[in-house]
């Protein structure tokens, strides 16, 4: 919990684990998107240790890409979430991966090296970028210093939030950066400018980029369609880009 008693106030984030899941949404009607999301939310946020989820939306060459950027209280809880999502959670008698519109689901847990909100999550998390880095050899000892440099660089650049994660099992690091919109909100057109601005920035993990043993394998910037919080938080969710992106009925 941060200094003012609000565990989502600006400052270090207490969560010690994260999960990345990604999939392609195929032929899911736009008007059904909020309904599907709200059906899932009640089940997901009830998982033990759930702290926050950013649900991304990216349109890439006609493909609609989504998933989740999750924070959990502990690594064991993140691992259990992956098991539950892949093997147990069913709606309409279907696992998530069996839904007709969900293609190529991946779900991976990580340890949190560091995570920090620089701005109020309720007003500033508009676009999110995920970079995944393959790490050759045993270099995880460098990640603490990498995090300190990344955190300070992100803060000085005006980002809303930055997270650095690591999986020892997969020898993989993940850098998650979140930014506010760069101009006035337009309720009639998606915020392409903020999306392009975050995507175009050089990586904030410069310490990884200059190492021969670190290789970027994934880089995707998305709108934050919705943010979920644990059931004891008010509000329970936010839709920072809706409208114009699909959102719940008023």
pLDDT digits (tens, 9 = 90+) for 81-136: 999 999 999 999 999 999 999 999 999 999 999 999 999 999 999 999 999 999 99
33 belongs to a structural domain:
yes
169 belongs to a structural domain:
yes
**Does the pLDDT of residue 72 top 80, yes or no?**
yes
Q: What is the CA radius of gyration of the chain?
A: 17
247 belongs to a structural domain:
no
pLDDT band (50, 70, 90) for residue 223? very high
**Does the pLDDT of residue 12 top 70, yes or no?**
yes
Task: Specify whether the CB–CB gap between 119 and 180 falls below 8 A.
Answer: yes
Letter string b/e over residues 182-202, b meaning 16 or more CB atoms within 10 A of that residue's CB: eeeeeeeeebeebbebbeeee
The domain in which residue 20 lies consists of 11-238
Distance CA 52, CA 73 (A): 10
Q: How many domains does the chain have?
A: 1
pLDDT tens string 121-174:
999 999 999 999 999 988 888 999 999 999 999 999 999 999 999 999 999 999
Chain-centroid distance, C-alpha 91? 23
End-to-end CA distance of the chain: 32
39: domain CATH number is 3.30.70.100
């Amino acid at each position: 919990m941060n200094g003012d008693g609000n565990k989502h106030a600006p400052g270090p984030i207490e969560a010690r684990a994260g999960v990345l899941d990604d999939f392609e949404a195929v032929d899911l009607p736009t008007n059904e998107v909020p309904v599907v999301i709200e059906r899932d939310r009640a089940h997901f946020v009830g998982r033990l240790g759930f702290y926050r989820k950013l649900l991304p939306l990216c349109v890439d060459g006609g493909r609609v890409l989504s998933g989740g950027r999750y924070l959990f209280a502990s690594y064991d809880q993140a691992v259990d979430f992956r098991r539950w999502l892949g093997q147990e959670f069913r709606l309409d008698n279907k696992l998530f991966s069996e839904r007709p519109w969900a293609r190529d689901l991946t779900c991976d847990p990580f340890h949190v090296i560091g995570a920090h909100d620089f701005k109020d999550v309720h007003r500033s998390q508009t676009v999110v970028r995920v970079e995944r880095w393959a790490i050759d050899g045993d270099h995880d000892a460098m990640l603490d210093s990498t995090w300190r440099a990344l955190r300070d660089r992100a803060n000085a650049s005006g980002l809303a939030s930055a997270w650095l994660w690591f999986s020892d099992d997969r020898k993989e690091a993940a850098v998650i950066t979140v930014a506010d919109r760069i101009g006035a909100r337009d309720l009639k057109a998606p915020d392409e400018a903020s999306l392009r601005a975050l995507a175009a920035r050089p990586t904030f993990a410069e310490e990884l980029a200059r190492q021969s043993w670190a290789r970027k394998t994934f880089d995707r910037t998305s709108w934050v369609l919705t943010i979920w919080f644990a059931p004891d938080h008010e509000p329970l969710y936010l839709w920072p880009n809706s409208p114009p992106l699909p959102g719940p009925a008023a």
